[in-house]
Amino acid sequence: MAAQKKLIIGNWKMNLNVQEASTYLHKLEAAMKVHRDVTVVITPTMLALQPLSLQINRHKLKLAAQNFHWRDFGAITGEVSATQLRGLVTYALVGHSERRHMFGESTKDTREKVQAALRNHITPVLCIGETKAERTNEETNDVLRDQLVGGLANVTSEEVDQVVIAYEPVWAIGTGNNASPHDVEAAILTIRSQIRHLFGRDKAASVTVLYGGSITADSAADYLALRGVDGLLVGGASLKLHEFTSIIEKAHSAAE
C-alpha cells in the first residue's frame, strides 16, 4: 500500500498566553522543515487564533480550534461558534476527552459539532477513546463504535472524507502511559471496520485516522508505522520545540 500523507496536530490545550503563543509560533516556523507529505496543525488557545492567523505562514502550518459551540450564533454567553471561526481555522477538535469528562460533553453534542464544523467549512477532528475502566472491562470496541456512530450519525458518505477521527484512549492522555502499538492497531481496525459498516469499504480505507496519547519524539515513529494510522494528535510534546519538530520529521520519514 502506498504511503499516505501524514497529519500532525499539536494540541496546546490551556497553555501559553497570546504573547507566548506568538513567540513559540515564530520559533516553530523557523525550526521546522516543510514537507509536502506532512500537514502540520497547531491548536492554540482560542484567544490566540485571531493574532496567530495574521502571523502564520499557511504554507507551513494550519490552525485548529480546541472547541466551539454547535449553534452558529445566538444568546449563548461565553461561547464561540464555528461560524465565528470560519476562515480563521482549518480544523477544530470535537469531543476531546477533556471536554467529555470535565464538561460533560455528550455524544449528541459531538454530533451537533461535527455538523456545525462541516457546514462552516471546517474539518472536524472527532476524538474518541475508552477510559481505563472501560478497557479493563473489555468494553473498548463498544465504546469506540458508540462514539463513532453517535458522532457521525448525520454525516453523509460524501462528507466523511472531510472528517478526521482521532483515537485517544483517555488513560493514555497526559499520563506518560501510551497505548501499546498492538492496542492502537487493534483500535484503529475497529474504527475502520465501523466506518466500513457506516459508509462502505472505500471510505474505510480513505478516512483519516490519528492516534493521540502521551506521544513523544521517541515513540512517534512506532505509531506512524502502524497500518491505518495517518498521523498523530500530540499534546504535551507539541509545546516543546525540539520534540515537535522531531515528530514532524518522523512523520515525513513514515510518509516516504
- The residues that are catalytic are 96, 168
Question: Does 129 interact with ligand 13P (rule: CB under 6 A)?
Answer: no
Q: Which of 90, 174, 203, 240 binds ligand 13P (CB under 6 A)?
A: 174
Of 34, 41, 100, 35, the closest CA to residue 67 belongs to: 100
Beta strand extents in the chain (DSSP E only) = 6-11, 38-43, 62-65, 91-94, 123-128, 164-167, 208-212, 231-234
DSSP 171: G
Reduced to 3 states (helix: H, G, I; strand: E, B; else coil), residue 41 is strand
Residue 229 binds to ligand 13P (criterion: CB under 6 A): no
Shortest Å, Cβ 230 to ligand 13P:
15
Q: Which of 25, 31, 30, 99 is nearest to 62 (CA)?
A: 25
| Among residues 11, 39, 123, 246, the one that binds ligand 13P under rule CB under 6 A | 11
> Of residues 65, 94, 122, 234, which one binds ligand 13P by CB under 6 A?
234
Among the listed residues 61, 235, 245, 248, the single contact to ligand 13P using CB under 6 A: 235
* C-alpha to C-alpha distance for 129 and 142, rounded to whole angstroms: 10
Length of the chain: 256
Q: Which of 173, 187, 210, 224 binds ligand 13P (CB under 6 A)?
A: 173
Cβ proximity to ligand 13P: between 228 and 235 the closer is 235
155: CB partners within 8 A, 6+ apart: 114, 115, 118, 163
124: contact with ligand 13P by CB under 6 A: no
| Planar angle of CA 41, 128, 50, nearest 5 degrees | 30
Q: How far is the CB of 2 from ligand 13P (least distance, A)?
A: 28
Q: How far is the CB of 238 from ligand 13P (least distance, A)?
A: 7
Q: Supply φ then ψ for residue 44, to 5 degrees.
A: -85, 180
Min dist. Cβ of residue 249 to ligand 13P (A) = 18
**Which residues of this chain interact with ligand 13P, rule CB under 6 A?**
11, 96, 168, 173-174, 212-215, 233-237
